[in-house]
């Protein structure tokens, strides 16, 4: 098998892993601001999708809260990029 083919298989393995989804969910929740705890309590992992199941999720993600001025998605995406690099040894 060529090096490129093996590298692509490694990338596919990391991106499709349950561990990545769980780690991203944990990071998303960690970046979710807390006032009453409703937002964190209602952020769930559905398969490999993070479901922010509350009506003001978009507002928080746009930086409405001073506790999370970058929202939750941007820091989580940075976390995912770093996680994948770490898992692939780069």
pLDDT band for 27, please (50, 70, 90 cuts).
very high
Q: Is residue 39 exposed (0-12), middle (13-18) or buried (19+ Cβ within 10 Å)?
A: buried
Mean pLDDT, residues 31-59 taken together: 94
Contact criterion met (CB below 8 Å) for 72 and 28? yes
Q: Does residue 88 register a pLDDT over 70?
A: yes
51 neighbors 44 (Cβ within 8 angstroms): yes
**pTM metric for this prediction:** 0.82
């Amino acid at each position: 098998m060529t090096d490129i083919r093996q590298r692509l298989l490694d990338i596919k393995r990391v991106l499709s892993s349950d561990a990545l989804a769980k780690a991203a969910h944990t990071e998303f929740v960690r970046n979710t601001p807390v006032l009453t705890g409703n937002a964190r309590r209602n952020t769930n992992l559905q398969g490999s999708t993070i479901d922010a199941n509350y009506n003001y999720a978009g507002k928080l993600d746009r930086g409405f809260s001073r506790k999370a001025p970058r929202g939750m998605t941007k820091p989580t995406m940075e976390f995912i990029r770093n996680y994948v690099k770490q898992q692939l040894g780069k």
